[in-house]
Amino acid sequence: MIHLSAIEAGRLLSKHPKAKRVVEQAKKAQQVDTLHQRVLAQLVGFPEPTTELVFHPRRKWRLDFAWPTHMIAVEIHGGIHSGGRHTRGRGFVEDRAKMNEAALLGWTVIEATPEHIKSGQLRAWLLAAFNQDQDQRTNP
């Protein structure tokens, strides 16, 4: 029996119209998974975050990673170089409303891109955010 990944199968079926779409979907899923693993690697040593936390009392807005007891959250903005939701007009405007509402509710939200994750900047920002936390400042 032969086992092929979706990408390998797509290469073999490159002339088939649906194959290209399947390959692109598989590549995107692989990229999202890799990015998620890189984020998790930078969270090592921090308290366990809540994922996809609904933070607003009336809207169904979610924060990607959140520490509700500290009011710290991380939002990952992917697809910024490929015309993803976060960079197109309506998506950008809606993201600003979401982030402003989070700030008004007292959240410190770190907005990170894949570049911030790869460089380690996300971890540096999290260290700074947790060190500013009142509980951290009172403990020697």
126 compared with 138, residue with greater pLDDT? 126
Do 108 and 67 touch, CB atoms closer than 8 A?
no
Instruction: Show the 3-state SS of 82-105.
Output: CCCCCCCHHHHHHHHHHHHHHHHC
Q: Tell me which residue of 75, 135, 139 sits closest to 107, measured CA to CA.
A: 75
pLDDT in tens, 41-98: 888 889 999 999 999 999 999 999 999 999 999 999 876 555 555 555 687 889 899 9
Judge whether residue 15 has pLDDT over 80: no
CB atoms within 10 A of CB 137: 9
What is the per-residue pLDDT for 38? 84
60-66, long-range: CB < 8 A, 24+ apart: 61/98, 61/101, 61/102, 63/102, 63/107, 63/109, 65/39, 66/107
Place 130 in a pLDDT band, splitting at 50, 70 and 90.
very high
